[in-house]
Amino acid sequence: MLSTAIPYGLDQVVLRQVGQARFAILLALLPVTATIIGLTVLHQVPGIGEIAGIGLVVAGLLLGARGGR
């Protein structure tokens, strides 16, 4: 139960402090961050799907920052 309650509580604190738009960006970056940590700490090599996913997330964030849809 604590493994769910503590992260949820922390999410709510961060959401209140950074706002909805920035929080959405942070959530979108979670898989990218996990892949980078897996590569650097655990020496897991990402597959083509992970690399393509990272590219799509970054492209989406860049388009969003420019005001694109």
> How confident is the model over 36-61, as pLDDT tens digits?
999 999 999 999 999 999 999 999 88
To which residue do tokens 């590219």 refer? Answer: 55
69 — pLDDT class (breaks 50, 70, 90): low
Q: Is the pLDDT of residue 26 over 90?
A: no
Yes or no: say if 61 and 25 are a contact pair by the CB < 8 Å rule. yes
Residue where the block lists tokens 């990272």: 54
pLDDT score recorded for residue 46: 93
Given this model, what pLDDT does residue 68 score? Answer: 53
